[in-house]
Amino acid sequence: MSAPNMDVLVSLAKRRGFIFQSSEIYGGTGSCWDYGPLGVELKQNIKRVWWRDFIQERPDMVGLDASILMHATVWKASGHVDNFTDPMVDCRECKRRFRADQVGDMAWLHFCPATKGNKFTIPAGGPCPHCGATRTLCPECGKGELTAPRQFNLMFKTFMGPVEEDAALTYLRPETAQGIFVNFDNVLQSMRLKLPFGIAQIGKAFRNEITPGNFIFRSREFEQMEIEYFVNPNDRMDGRPADEAIHDTWIEACRAWFVRYGLAADHMKFHEHETAELAHYSKRTVDILYKFPMGWSELMGIANRTDFDLKQHSKFSGKSLTYFDEERKEHIVPFVIEPSAGVDRALLAFLLDAYQEEEVRGEKRVLLRLHRELAPITIAVLPLLKKRPEIVSTAHELRTRLAKRWRTVYDDTAAIGRLYRRQDEVGTPYCVTVDVKTVGDREKGEAGDGKVTIRERDSMEQIRVPLADLDTIFGRLMGETAWSEVAAAYPRAEG
Ligand code: GAP
């Protein structure tokens, strides 16, 4: 299935409480986004499985949570003060700012002299079909001349303490990585680690992007999940320098992780950076690109940062940041392999890949086929009749019980068909329905069977199961057991 149009996703994200524009009641910022009740659950789930899979389950990984504000010299040493820049041009008339390398890729406004100055929007790169002119002025206002390109630093400046003076100047971190490098020795000594090992961190990063856009793809405040994996460059693996072999291992591990949680393998591809494209610290970088609606774009990067950062921080701080190689009896500066993923971009890709529209009994069904561990809600408990107090109380009790282990909601605000559709649209993998047969009918002297219906999102299959079995069933479903295997043990229920 091809990914949906971005507007469709933006609309669903707002309507169903995933993502809102920041400060919307004031007109919004367009460069920052707020995660709503379902968005925050999805985001937490992405971070939780990433942390579990790459840190908690591995013997060679530890975590860190460094502060966002750091000593200003960190950014001098890392090269961000001098190199973390984009070339930009300004319109002398409307004062808008553009990235110099992107201005030629924009459609442009043209007041055509051949048609008495009529206004046209000309597609990117093309000449005016009436007068043949190509763009020289501002693409937005069509009037102003553009300045020569100037380098613009993407770091947000701020001041520490009560006085706004140069001595107090620092920056909001543009990547989480530096917090790891400056703590390298603290972690090494406190945890008695042996190479190779990795330090991971999830946290906010800030970049004053000149052209934020494409929803949460490029914003000015975002979250990163980064690993700095330290390797002894003198070691060899498979007949190659260890850093190069381990780099390849991480590239494949990251690709496989996205496939595991739902991205179609053919919606991703690798991009090997050309020499001119490499960041100032990198020996080799491979990006994983995803087929976003605006075209193939970076989902994450996996770089070989060599010993650049540790050496720089050692030079600027005067502290030794080395590792003692017991075998060779020498101090070395480790090389670093850095898998760096954006949480927001991962979330966008998971949403796009999960989105599906289909026709069921003549009606459109919209569903998010989110992986069960990512879905914001795992189980929805739905009463078939909200006028029957026993049904409602049983459903509430069930929600309370299941919520101790899984994100479970109760909903009785519509008829059952509509409730199912609502849950499909937000990706809830399982609905549990409590009905008259569950609780029985006291007035008619009928006892309940103590069973409920579980409906699975993708197949829409329904099975009838005893209330007492639910914890075991969901424990298996949320583990490795397939729905078909669990469902085979119970009678089918009618839809
Ligand atoms: N420490 C290396 C580093 O920060 P990067 O390629 O600049 O490398 C890593 O960023 C990842 O962070 C990107 O692949 C992307 O997923 C995410 N990212 C970067 N800038 C972003 C932005 N402005 N908005 C959202 N995500 C961003």
Q: Residue length, the chain?
A: 495
Element (H, E) at 368: strand 363-368
Residue in 426, 395, 400 with CA at minimum distance from that of residue 411: 395
pLDDT at 494: 78
- Average pLDDT, stretch 379-389? 95
Pocket flag, ligand 1, residue 227 (CB < 6 Å): no
Q: For the segment 277-318, what is each residue's pLDDT rounded down to a tens digit?
A: 999 899 999 999 999 999 999 999 999 999 999 999 999 999
Please give the Cα distance from 342 to 223 (Å, whole number). Answer: 6
SS3 call for 344: helix
Ligand 1 midpoint to CA 58 (Å): 24
The rounded Å distance from CA 266 to ligand 1 centre is 22
Ligand 1 binding pocket mutation candidate from 47, 224, 350 (most atoms within 8 A of CB): 224
> How many CA atoms lie less than 13 Å away from 205 in the CB half-sphere?
23
How many CA atoms, within 13 angstroms, populate the side-chain half-sphere of residue 136?
4
Q: Give me the helices (H) in 301-388, please.
A: 308-317, 343-354
Residue 221 tokens, joined: 């405040």
> Which residue, by CA, sits nearest to atom 25 of ligand 1?
218
pLDDT at 415 over 60: yes
Mean pLDDT score of the chain, rounded to an integer? 96
Predicted confidence band of residue 3 (pLDDT cuts 50, 70, 90): low
Measure the CA–CA gap between 41 and 33, rounded to whole angstroms. Answer: 15
What integer is the mean pLDDT of 87-115? Answer: 93
Phi first, then psi: what are they for 316, rounded to 5°? -75, -30
Pocket of ligand 1 contains residue 201 by CB under 6 Å? no
User: 400: CA distance to ligand 1 center in Å?
Assistant: 39
The mean per-residue pLDDT over the stretch 63-76 comes to 97
Q: pLDDT of 139-180, one tens digit each? A: 999 999 999 999 999 999 999 988 888 888 999 999 999 999
Which residue's alpha carbon is at the smallest distance from atom 20 of ligand 1?
Answer: 218
What is the model's pLDDT at position 435? Answer: 96
Give the C-alpha separation, 258 to 263, whole Å. Answer: 6
Q: Residue ranges of the alpha helices (H) in 404-468?
A: 416-426, 436-439
**Does ligand 1 lie within 6 Å of residue 226's CB atom?**
yes
Distance 207 CA to ligand 1 centre (A): 9
Q: What pTM was estimated for this model as a whole? A: 0.93
SS3 per residue for 225-289? EEEEEEECCCCEECCEEHHHHHHHHHHHHHHHHHHHCCCCHHHEEEEECCHHHCCCCCCEEEEEE
**How close is the Cα of 342 to the center of ligand 1, in Å?**
6
User: What digits encode the pLDDT tens for the residues 229-286?
Assistant: 999 999 999 999 999 999 999 999 999 999 999 999 999 999 999 999 999 899 999 9
Coil/strand/helix, residue 419:
helix
Helix, strand, coil content of the chain in percent (nearest 5): 30, 30, 40
Q: Is the pLDDT of residue 425 over 90?
A: yes
Q: Is 84 in the pocket of ligand 1 (CB under 6 A)?
A: no
Residue whose CA lies nearest to ligand 1 atom number 7: 175
Ligand 1 within 6 A of CB of 285 = no
318: phi > 0 → left, psi -120 to 50 → alpha, else beta; which?
left
Indicate if ligand 1 lies below 6 Å from the C-beta of 177.
yes
Q: What is the pLDDT of residue 480?
A: 87
pLDDT (0 to 100) of residue 442: 84
**Could you tell me if the CB of 340 is within 6 A of ligand 1?**
yes
pLDDT value of residue 495: 66
- Burial string for 214-249 (b: 16+ CB within 10 Å, else e) reads bbbbbbbbbbbbbbbbbbbbebeeeeebbbbbbbbe
**Strand-pair category, 240-241 with 363-368:** unpaired
Output the six-digit token pair for 253.
């591990």
